[in-house]
Amino acid sequence: MERPLVVSALENQVKARPMPRHVGIIMDGNGRWAESRGLDRLEGHREGSASVREVTRTARRLGIQALTLYAFSSQNWARPAEEVAGLMDLLRDYLERERAEILDNGIRLNAVGDVDRLPRFVKDPLERLIADSRHNTGMVLSLALSYGGREEILRAAQRMAQAITRGELAADRVEEADFESFLWTNGLPPLDLMVRTSGELRVSNFLLWQMAYAELCFTDALWPDFRTDEFLRCVSQYQQRERRFGLTTAQVKREDPPQRAKA
């Protein structure tokens, strides 16, 4: 009974402070969690889906506008074929199992990445749930699938170059907002907080453009062990940091952060 009481107290403290608008999470450590228990690596990913559900519920309850989860990277396609196939099966199962949870709680599902690479048995339920939740006005849950930050920037640059060639943009007048409109994350709030689990201290090609002014939180917890209490601690860390966006502390105290940081 003690842990829920502690979590409840921390959640109340977090709710009383400014909330990050957009949180991204690198969900790392599933394989190590399973191997440390003598289990198949896929069992770690299966257990990790419980963390996805709990963290999504907590973020929704806190009033966070957008949550982006790094579910499958562009580089993950190079893993052993049997592991990739198992991950695709788990992804399909997640989409089917969480469909009611997402729709009943007003969550809008989104996907970022080269989703055309996904097998049809995953892509079909993904597209159906995105379509069926498109009018929901609650939190946006984005799954980063077949995603890479460098790949996203390259794809955006190619698309922008095509728009310039067609005469839709003037090359000498392109601004950040123009470029961002070609990113997979177009329409999402600015990324305020990036979390990585498992003790690794790198960003692994995740939301590279969007991370420019994000606060970073690294935790030793493996993803299957990352639940509400760990998530609240990360949000609490974010709330205790001074966000200057290139200004001095004195300037921040006198005025709001730059307009581009609030857009």
185: which 2 tokens? 């994350």
Q: Bridge-partner residues for 111, per DSSP?
A: 143
Tokens of 204: 């692994």
Residue 89: exposure state from Cβ atoms within 10 A (0-12, 13-18, ≥19): middle
Spot the catalytic one: 28, 30, 110, 192.
28
Residue 81 token pair = 């074929």
Chain-centroid distance of CA 93 in Å reads 20
Q: Are 153 and 212 in contact (CB under 8 A)?
A: no
Q: How crowded is residue 97: how many other Cβ atoms within 10 Å of its Cβ?
A: 11
**What phi and psi values does residue 148 have, to the nearest 5 degrees?**
-150, 135
Task: Calculate the CA dihedral of residues 64, 244, 144, 109 and round it to 10 degrees.
Answer: 30
Any catalytic annotation for residue 28? yes
Cα–Cα distance for residue pair 26/206, rounded to 1 Å: 8
Among 97, 113, 120, which residue's Cα sits nearest to residue 205? 113
Q: Which of 12, 30, 40, 76 is catalytic?
A: 76
Q: Is 136 a known active-site residue?
A: no
* 134/137 Cα distance (integer angstroms): 8
Query: Which residues are identified as catalytic?
Result: 28, 76
